[in-house]
Every structure is written in structure tokens, then in C-alpha cells.
Amino acid sequence: MAGNTGNPGATVTARVIAVLAAFDERHRRLGVTDISRRSELPLSTTHRLLGELVAHGALQREGRDYVIGRRLWDVGLLAPVQTDLREAASPFLHDIYAATRATVHLAVRDGNEALYLERLSGRSSVAIVSTVGSTLPLHATGVGKVLLAHAPQDLCREVLSRLSAVTPHTVTSPRTLTAQLERVRSNGYATTEDEMSLGACSVAVPVRRRGDVVAAIGVVVPTLKRDRGRLVAALQVAGRGIGRHL
């Protein structure tokens, strides 16, 4: 009786997506067994799907492992993910980079996380953890704090109730963070020091469209000692510029 009952209720499409979803920032390269485990699909099913996906260019083989293929890269780029915002921001992000030589970020709030839309990599020695397309917690990054400070009350409360520590310096006290967010609103900018990654500080300001905060831009630098004022000024100029082009 080697026969089989199939798996009632599951569409092939869902399985295909599950396979693709096995890949993320920390797993760009995976073997059959890993993908099978992460997608919770039977090994042999996974194996066949992978073969088909490779045949159509959605994935590529790299030795025994699999990586996302060219086909998905250029299809993915067609997604209208805040296209207008990214277009409008692009030149201003360059300006910030030119003025600071630091790593520059553009992010929006996606639920209770910060979604990174754009990144210009500086040549500094700071370890950068962000990646375009991935998300980071709202309470531990500069752009995150800006977005959180201007998020709806209840979402803010929800985030404050579960503050995970990323580094020993991450702010995990709701009281402290609430006070910080208040200052973000009154001062017009947010800062972090070693809160997401040791040896990395950040400054961020909001981008507004007709008063509403729709995004945040920020820079990551090794230290804030000297440059805070200069960085804030450069960011605010850019932030207003972007807002004017939305």
C-alpha cells in the first residue's frame, strides 16, 4: 500500500508560496531538508516543487542549495511598494548622504514594525543590520521611534507592552520610552545609541504629507557626540523637501 491520500485542503499555490517564504534575510541559501522543515511540507513534495521552481527560473541552484532566482528578482521589483514615496525621496537621500557620508535610511511603519524601503550604504565601520525589504522593531531604531511617536495611540500602547531587548542598551522600560517619544514629538527628531547594534547611533526625523507623518528618514553613525545638530539639520531639510514632493 504505497498509495497516498494527498493533503486535503491544500492548494499547490499555497505550497509554492510556503517554499518561497522559507527564504528570508537570515536564510538566503537553503537545502531541501531545511526548506521542507521551514515550510512544513513533506520532503518529497518540497523536492519536486523546488525542481519545478528552478526549471522556471524562480529559484536557482547553488551547489546543493537553492537561492531566489533572477525571475523573482525582476518581478519583485515591479511591486508598487510606496513607489511614489521612494521616487520622491531618492534625490534627498542622496543629498543627506553627500552631506554626512553616513548610512541613510528611508522607512515606513508596517503594522508594529518599521519597514525599510531604501538604504544608502556609507563606507563607515558601523555594523548595519537593516536591509531593504525587511523590518526591524519600532522601539530600537531611530526611524522606528519617529514612526512610533506618530502612530495611533492603541498601536503605541501595544508596542510599549512588549519591549524586547536587542542589545543591553535597548530601551525596555515603557515609562522611559514614553518620555522619549514625547520628546521626539516636541523636538522633531529621535536618536538611539547602541540600542539596535553596539557601536551604532542614529538620528531620524519624520516625513510629513499634509501634516501626517507618512515615513521617516535617518542616518546611522558611530557616535553622536559632535554632529547631532548638523545631522538633525540635514535630515530636517531633506524631510521637508520630500514632503513637498508628495
The residues binding a second copy (CB under 8 A) are 11-14, 16-17, 20-21, 23-25, 28-29, 49, 52-53, 56-58, 62, 67-81, 87, 90-91, 94, 97-98, 120-123, 131-134
* Of 20, 34, 71, 134, the one binding DNA by CB under 7 A: 34
| 31 contacts DNA (rule: CB under 7 A) | yes
Count Cβ atoms below 10 Å from residue 157 Cβ, excluding itself.
12
Q: Which is nearer to a second copy, 13 or 125 (CB)?
A: 13
Cα–Cα distance for residue pair 209/162, rounded to 1 Å: 30
Measured from the CB atom, the residue of 8 and 152 that comes closer to DNA is 8
Which single residue is written with the C-alpha cell 512588549?
162
Residues 39 and 22: beta-carbon distance below 8 Å: yes
Q: Is 55 in the site for DNA (CB under 7 A)?
A: no
Contact predicate 114/133, CB 8 Å: no
Q: Rounded to an integer, what is the distance from CA 128 to the centroid of its chain? A: 12
91 binds DNA (CB under 7 A): no
CA distance 101 to 124: 8
Give the β-pairing of 65-68 and 59-62: antiparallel
1 binds DNA (CB under 7 A): yes
Kindly state the smallest distance separating residue 24's Cβ from DNA, in Å.
18
Residue of 25, 33, 162, 182 that binds DNA (CB under 7 A): 33
| CA-to-CA dists, residue 67 to 43, 136, 230, angstroms | 18, 23, 42
Does the footprint of DNA cover residue 41 (CB under 7 A)?
yes
Cα 98 to its chain centre, rounded Å, is: 23
**Residue in this structure with the C-alpha cell 499634509, named with its chain if needed:** 210
Asked if 152 touches DNA (CB under 7 A), the answer is no
15 touching DNA, by CB under 7 A: yes
CB of residue 67 to DNA, shortest distance in Å: 13
81: phi then psi, degrees, rounded to nearest 5:
-90, 95
Binding of residue 27 to DNA (CB under 7 A): no
Q: For residues 69, 72, 78 and 84, what is the CA-based torsion angle, rounded to 10 degrees?
A: -70
> Contact between 45 and DNA (CB under 7 A)?
yes
Among 28, 48, 70, 230, binds DNA (CB under 7 A): 48
Long-range contacts of 171-174 (CB under 8 A, 24+ apart): 171/139, 171/140, 171/195
Please identify which residue in 10, 75, 165, 198 interacts with DNA, judged by CB under 7 A: 10
Q: How far is the CB of 29 from DNA (least distance, A)?
A: 10
Size of the site for DNA (CB under 7 A): 29
**Where along the sequence are the contacts to DNA (CB under 7 A)?**
1-13, 15, 31-34, 41-45, 47-49, 51, 64-65
